[in-house]
Chains A and B, each alone.
Chain A
Amino acid sequence: MASRRRTLLKVIILGDSGVGKTSLMNQYVNKKFSNQYKATIGADFLTKEVQFEDRLFTLQIWDTAGQERFQSLGVAFYRGADCCVLVYDVNSMKSFDNLNNWREEFLIQASPSDPDNFPFVLLGNKVDVDGGNSRVVSEKKAKAWCASKGNIPYFETSAKDGINVEEAFQCIVKNALKNEPEEELYMPDTVDVVGGNRGQGSSGCC
């Protein structure tokens, strides 16, 4: 019975311009990498059916524009997110330093009911570049940051080589579901209704 239920999980990918948000999403959904991505304007999303613990979910992954000023549009995209994926480039200190900003801005704009426990996942992307020689953010440093923000799960990924991408998104799904029981309290009928409502909500805002 439980396996027949479908539900929608909304995931937002945030991070500086050019850290590989679009690439990660495409690697995960389409299992492809291209070095010819266009700059993302506003936001874009892809969906993927995922199975988790015997249940089928539609994962709706929102890929956002990285330029700072697009943050002001965030509220329209962040609303109703189940999980927020923060991405930085291990070869760019600035993209790592900005993580605080992205996280805080997300919490302000999405205003989740329990900001302290809202699920984030951190991805340090582009570990493949130059065989790791151009890397400037150490794994230790990244993990320390994660620990300071309430044990955010951390993955070192390469969208290009597909390293850790699948694993990271498995974790994202798992964390997105942390919110689920809470929402079922708000709408106790069935999960289907929740999915339907959310679908409408997200299409209405854009």
Chain B
Amino acid sequence: MRWPELSSLGIVADVVEVWRRDVYGFAVRPQHLQRFREYAKIYKEEEDERTHRWKDFLDRLADSADLPSTPSIHAAAAGDAESAEKSVKEEHHEAENTDTDTNLEYLKEADGNEELGDVNGEPDDIKGVTSNLEKPKEDSSSRGADCDEDDEEEGEAEERNIKIECVDQVDDNDESIEAKGKPEDFDDVAGNSEKLKEETSADYVTPNKASEEFKEINEGSEEIKVINGGSEGFKDQNGGSKELGEVNNDNFKRFEETPFDKGLLDELEPIKVESWRRVRASLSIIEKMMSSRVVKRNDTANAISGEVATQLASIEEDRAVEETHEGNSAEESYDAEKVDRSQDGAPGDSTSVTLEGDNGGSYFPWREELESLVRGGVPIALRGEMWQAFVGVGARKITGYYNKLLDERTDVLDEKDLKDQVVNEQKSSPKKDPKPEKWKGQIEKDLPRTFPGHPALDEDGRNALRRLLTAYARHNPSVGYCQAMNFFAGLFLLFMPEENAFWALVGVIDEYFEGYYTEEMIESQVLLIF
């Protein structure tokens, strides 16, 4: 099971409805609707600006790291080609959501640049494949520009409509269809596929498929001409373009893996099908930097035994130690916790949210820039992944741990393990209920009270939230479930797959808010005093 896709809930389709919800999918109160409308445009502009800044940053980061999963376009390109290429890439970005028309617009620009083609197999391929559609595009270029602008502002649903309109226009143009039939174009496609086969063996099937698809369209151009303007004609064409778009995307994904410049409404569907997904490659440097301490911890845990439950055990031990020190005095336990932390030895093992990593300066020369970028805000489409990178989800994850926590059978095991723990707890704080899972009722109470009315929180959404909170409570029994964690968990679920969300929650509650949500809420009390 997974968090539902927001698009399937009809939000994206219904424009009126969209205006009643913000980019997170939260309802905008009627009295704020007017202001929301006024600011939506400004927000979009700012978001675009942020997106570009981040994209630029991540591109450079990826370049410097020379990540294997990121094609080294930039490294190979030089001079004029580089800038042209960059624009192609950028355009791709914007066009990503299978918006072929925008792609074409772009590629048209790049078309004249021979060097680009030579240097880069992928854009070249795209160029080749799409050159068929380019010509019609020329005739309706102003329309294309409109499309571009429109889908900046409008959501996916709108985008789709516009796309169809554009294609329609293309279809209306007899000349263009004729142009499409030119055999050179086929050759071009085939040649490129061939080339791609050589260059990127992993991808070769898709372009071939696309070119075949294209062939079909082109061969059927007469048919299209006959039923010109008819819905079926352009549906067919549209399908072909879509296919093409997918190819483009595939290629593209190799740069960016997932789209992150999305329309205002696209952002309503950040949820992917997978229950687990890795953070995009270009963020891995940040993730590495941020999770160095996590890696340490996990290494130790894994060294003790291969068992998945080791982290659980280690956390429980930590807590047990803390709690025996704790007594009833808040001050004392606060100190104990401090000592505990310093014993960990890692200077980076602090609850500080800043980027003061232990080896930040030398190891991560981008730190200052990243810091200022973070202060300027993370684009919504990147946010989920940035959170994961920062909290070190990849490094934290122990395969199978999440499911094991949720598995009823391991429940019994865990309870046995818990016995010692419970005894310890009773010694130090007799107030504690030895009965495990007493937080179940509270979770049930809070499920409908977490982002009530949010379309993602239908039955599936609540089930995911329940699993997440249950798993965390079992993972860290000294905290169990505390109100407010429901909002953390719910927010994570809006931005990432379920298991990612679990590890993000673990990172945030275990470390950043260590001591805040325990039964005694020591840290929260400290916070209130100052």
CB-CB under 8 A for A72 and B442, given A17-B483, A36-B452, A37-B452: no
Mark the stretch among A62-70, A151-159, A175-183 that contacts chain B.
Answer: A62-70
**B519 / chain A contacts, CB cutoff of 8 Å:** 69
Q: Which of the four size classes fits the interface of chain A? A: 20 to 34
Q: A67–B473 Cα gap in the complex (Å)?
A: 15
**B525 / chain A contacts, CB cutoff of 8 Å:** 72-73, 76
CB-CB under 8 A for A41 and B528, given A72-B521, A73-B521: no
**B311 / chain A contacts, CB cutoff of 8 Å:** none
* A1 interfacial contact with B, CB 8 Å: no
Query: Which residues of chain B from 430 to 448 have a CB within 8 Å of any chain A CB?
Result: 442, 445-446
**A205 / chain B contacts, CB cutoff of 8 Å:** 528
B454: nearest residue on chain A (CB-CB)?
Answer: A36
Number of A-B contacts (CB under 8 A): 55
* B334 interfacial contact with A, CB 8 Å: no
A70 touches B528 (CB 8 A): no
Q: A66–B528 Cα gap in the complex (Å)?
A: 18
Among A40, A66, A72: residue with most chain B CB under 10 A: A72
For the complex formed, measure the closest distance between the CB of B425 and the CB atoms of chain A, giving whole angstroms.
14
Q: A40–B483 Cα gap in the complex (Å)?
A: 8
**A18 / chain B contacts, CB cutoff of 8 Å:** 445, 449
**B486 / chain A contacts, CB cutoff of 8 Å:** 39
B445 touches A72 (CB 8 A): no
A39 touches B483 (CB 8 A): yes
For the complex formed, measure the closest distance between the CB of A109 and the CB atoms of chain B, giving whole angstroms.
11
B484 touches A206 (CB 8 A): no
A36 touches B453 (CB 8 A): yes
Q: A40–B487 Cα gap in the complex (Å)?
A: 11
Query: Which residues of chain B from 484 to 530 have a CB within 8 Å of any chain A CB?
Result: 484, 486-487, 517-521, 524-525, 528-529
Contact of A76 among B452, B482, B528 (CB under 8 A): B528
Identify whether the interface residues of B are mostly helix, strand, loop, or mixed.
loop
B521 touches A70 (CB 8 A): yes
A67: nearest residue on chain B (CB-CB)?
Answer: B483
**B450 / chain A contacts, CB cutoff of 8 Å:** 38-39
A41 touches B449 (CB 8 A): no
Query: Which residues of chain A from 107 to 126 have a CB within 8 Å of any chain B CB?
Result: none
B481: nearest residue on chain A (CB-CB)?
Answer: A67
* B451 interfacial contact with A, CB 8 Å: yes
For the complex formed, measure the closest distance between the CB of A40 and the CB atoms of chain B, giving whole angstroms.
8
B520: nearest residue on chain A (CB-CB)?
Answer: A72
**A42 / chain B contacts, CB cutoff of 8 Å:** 484, 524
**B446 / chain A contacts, CB cutoff of 8 Å:** 17, 39
Using a Cβ–Cβ cut-off of 8 Å, how many residues does chain B contribute to the interface with A? 22
Query: Which residues of chain A from 178 to 206 have a CB within 8 Å of any chain B CB?
Result: 205-206
Query: Which residues of chain B from 192 to 216 have a CB within 8 Å of any chain A CB?
Result: none
CB-CB under 8 A for A41 and B521, given A36-B453, A73-B528: no
A69 touches B520 (CB 8 A): yes
A18: nearest residue on chain B (CB-CB)?
Answer: B445
For the complex formed, measure the closest distance between the CB of B323 and the CB atoms of chain A, giving whole angstroms.
14
Q: A76–B529 Cα gap in the complex (Å)?
A: 8
Query: Which residues of chain A from 1 to 41 have a CB within 8 Å of any chain B CB?
Result: 17-18, 35-41
For the complex formed, measure the closest distance between the CB of B445 and the CB atoms of chain A, giving whole angstroms.
5
A39 touches B521 (CB 8 A): no
Q: A67–B529 Cα gap in the complex (Å)?
A: 20
**B528 / chain A contacts, CB cutoff of 8 Å:** 73, 76, 205-206
A35: nearest residue on chain B (CB-CB)?
Answer: B452
Q: A69–B452 Cα gap in the complex (Å)?
A: 23
**B520 / chain A contacts, CB cutoff of 8 Å:** 69, 72
Q: A73–B523 Cα gap in the complex (Å)?
A: 10
Q: A69–B525 Cα gap in the complex (Å)?
A: 11
B524 touches A17 (CB 8 A): no
**A35 / chain B contacts, CB cutoff of 8 Å:** 452
**A36 / chain B contacts, CB cutoff of 8 Å:** 452-453
**B453 / chain A contacts, CB cutoff of 8 Å:** 36
Contact of A41 among B445, B452, B483, B518 (CB under 8 A): B483
A70 touches B483 (CB 8 A): yes
**B451 / chain A contacts, CB cutoff of 8 Å:** 38
User: Told that A76-B525, A205-B528 touch, could you supply 14 new A-B pairs with CB distance under 8 A?
Assistant: A17-B483, A39-B445, A39-B483, A65-B483, A67-B442, A67-B483, A69-B517, A69-B518, A69-B520, A72-B520, A72-B521, A73-B521, A73-B528, A76-B529
Identify the 7 closest CB pairs spanning chains A and B, nearest first: A36-B452, A39-B449, A76-B528, A41-B484, A67-B483, A18-B445, A39-B446
- Give residues in A with beta carbon < 8 Å to B: 17-18, 35-42, 65-67, 69-70, 72-73, 76, 205-206
16 A-B Cβ contacts within 8 A?
A18-B449, A36-B453, A39-B449, A41-B483, A42-B524, A65-B483, A66-B483, A67-B442, A67-B483, A69-B482, A69-B519, A70-B483, A72-B521, A76-B525, A76-B528, A206-B528
